[in-house]
Structures are given as C-alpha cells and as structure tokens.
Amino acid sequence: MAGSRRGARARRAGLARPRVEVRWEDLAVEARVLVGQRARPTVLSFYRNALLARHALYQTLPAPPAPGARAPFPPVQLRNC
C-alpha cells in the first residue's frame, strides 16, 4: 500500500519517473525465455525447470529441435471463431 500512496502523491505533485531511452541501429537480440506453465513462479515449476536444466546439462534428455528445423508433422492453421 505504501508504494501506491507514494505514487499517488508523486502524481499529484506533477513528478514523473525518470526514463532512459537507448536506440541502436542494426541490433539483433536473441533470448531464451520460459513460456506457458514453465514461466509461472511456483515451487513446482521451479523444481521442474531445475530438473530439466540438470538433464540438459548432462544431456540425459533429447535436445529440443533447432530453430528453423522441420516439424515431424505439418503445422495446423488455427482459425478465429
């Protein structure tokens, strides 16, 4: 609650948070992120992610397909209903 009161007081005083904008030309960024159920911060997902990371480290599980690799089945096109 204290944070919201502080923010409301700053808005009433006309203060804005400082912002920094950085621009780069010809910048490409790649990142590995967790999505779906694996991205949720729960104890179960933490242990599951740790277990999968350990298996990946010791290569005891098959590696995920490389980017751009063909899927073993044709992709399904979803329609908006």
Q: Does a structural domain hold residue 29? A: yes
The domain of 57 spans 25-61
Instruction: Take residue 19 and report the two structure tokens written for it.
Output: 């912002």
Q: Does a structural domain hold residue 57? A: yes
Predicted TM-score of the model (pTM): 0.36
CB 73 within 8 A of CB 67: no
Per-residue model confidence (pLDDT) at position 80: 66
Q: Give the number of domains in the chain.
A: 1
Per-residue model confidence (pLDDT) at position 56: 78
Q: Does a structural domain hold residue 30? A: yes
The overall average pLDDT reported for the chain is 76
CA distance 47 to 53: 10
Per-residue model confidence (pLDDT) at position 62: 67
CB 50 within 8 A of CB 42: no
Instruction: Take residue 36 and report the two structure tokens written for it.
Output: 């779906």
Q: Does a structural domain hold residue 75? A: no
Residue stretches of the chain with pLDDT short of 70: 1-3, 62-66, 69-81
Per-residue model confidence (pLDDT) at position 17: 75
Q: Does a structural domain hold residue 45? A: yes
